[in-house]
Amino acid sequence: MKGAVITLGMVALGIALWQSFAPESSPVQEFDLEEEQLIASYLLEGTRRHFSQDGVAADVLEIGEATRWQNSEETTLRDIRYQAQAENGALWDINAAAGIFFEDINELELKNGVTLMELTRDATMQTDSMRLYMDQKRAQGEQAVVMTGRGSRTTGAAFELDLQSSMATLKGDVRTEYE
């Protein structure tokens, strides 16, 4: 009996010492999966190419980062670069810091500063945000736009751009300054 009491006392002392020296455990966090958005897919540095009927790359979409959320039709993008070639041979290079890709309708909503460069004519357009309709190869922006070319700078309140014909239409309070 004396041995059982000593053993029980040693076990109790061991447990007390263990609890005093063991690190405190963090409380268990409970998440409500109904309210939390779950990442369905994530991509770091990716390239998507669309090819024309004759096998030439019709457009190229490069991204630094993409995140698709569960139960969402949208993919958020970072560090976006879209390149396309017009029927007349003009080369377009469009860059944006962020955007949303709508895969089902093949459209990009670009934001946080967008730069459109027509490389063959050395023309540049800059705006805060725009919508890029990749299937139709056209773009539309409802924000202020600045277009610069050889010897001129044109501003407007909005724009439409046909990437196939390289025809830009600036709208609302359009002003041009010549050098």
Compute how many other C-beta atoms are within 10 angstroms of the C-beta atom of residue 158: 18
Residue 138 to residue 117: CA distance in whole angstroms: 14
Phi, psi for 74 (deg, rounded to 5): -110, 150
CB 15 within 8 A of CB 7: no
| Per-residue pLDDT tens digits for 119-176 | 888 889 999 999 999 888 899 999 999 999 888 899 999 999 998 888 888 999 889 8
CB 67 within 8 A of CB 75: yes
Least confident segment among 27-31, 107-111, 148-152: 27-31
Q: Which two tokens stand for residue 95?
A: 């860059």
Domains in the chain: ranges and CATH: 39-178 (2.60.450.10)
Closest Cα partner for 139 from 120, 154, 122, 158? 158
Residue 111 to residue 137: CA distance in whole angstroms: 18
Q: Any idea how long the chain is?
A: 179
Residue 127 to residue 142: CA distance in whole angstroms: 9
| Per-residue pLDDT tens digits for 39-80 | 777 778 888 887 777 777 678 889 999 888 888 888 899 999
pTM for the full predicted model: 0.73
